């Protein structure tokens, strides 16, 4: 992944990273074989650059991590969850444009 501003999440570090964030967190649940997941990555990288001090962005590979996707009942990918104060506040499923994602985040800043 090109952007070092996007955090790689796992079953092991998910709770601590989400719970310790003082900003909204956008989490992308994805898999290597998922076409729309690959399409959304560059969009997330642009948002990570533009919103560097306002939002945290993380990606969690559902094939390598089974616990968290099960806990949050992720049944389709990409699924993007927005967390604020450690709690899920919004969920969108499928590819979203940069404008749609920015609007989603703006609501929770």
Q: CA of 109: how far to CAs of 27, 63, 69, 106, in Å?
A: 15, 30, 25, 5
Rounded-to-integer distance, Cα 73 and Cα 91, Å: 11
Question: Both tokens of residue 21?
Answer: 């964030």
Residues designated as active site? 34, 37
Strands 56-61 and 25-30: parallel
């Amino acid at each position: 992944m090109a952007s070092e501003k996007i955090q790689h999440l796992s079953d092991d570090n998910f709770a601590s990273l989400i719970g310790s964030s003082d900003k909204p967190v956008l989490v992308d649940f994805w898999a290597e074989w998922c076409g729309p997941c690959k399409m959304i990555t560059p969009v997330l990288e642009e948002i990570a650059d533009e919103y560097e001090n306002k939002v945290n962005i993380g990606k969690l590979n559902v094939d390598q991590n089974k616990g968290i996707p099960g806990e949050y009942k992720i049944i389709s990918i990409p699924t993007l969850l927005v967390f604020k104060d450690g709690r899920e506040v919004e969920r969108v499923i499928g590819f979203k444009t940069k404008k749609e994602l920015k609007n989603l985040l703006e609501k929770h800043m």
